[in-house]
Amino acid sequence: MPQAVQFEALQRIAADASLSLPAKAILFYALTREPGYRMSVADLTAMSPASDKAIYPRIKELMAAGYVTRKLIQAGCEYTVHVTPITAATEAGA
Q: What is the pLDDT of residues 46-55, one digit of tens each?
A: 988 888 899 9
pLDDT for the residue 1: 42
Give me the architecture of the 7-92 domain, per CATH.
Orthogonal Bundle (1.10)
Which residue has better confidence, 6 or 57? Answer: 57
Q: What mean pLDDT is predicted for residues 76-88? A: 86
Q: Per residue in 11-57, pLDDT tens?
A: 999 999 999 999 999 999 999 888 888 899 989 999 888 888 999 99
Please state the domain extents for the chain. Answer: 7-92
Q: Taking phi first (over 0 means left), then psi (-120 to 50 degrees means alpha), and beta for anything else, what does residue 66 get? A: left
**Closest by Cα among 13, 23, 14 to 50:** 23
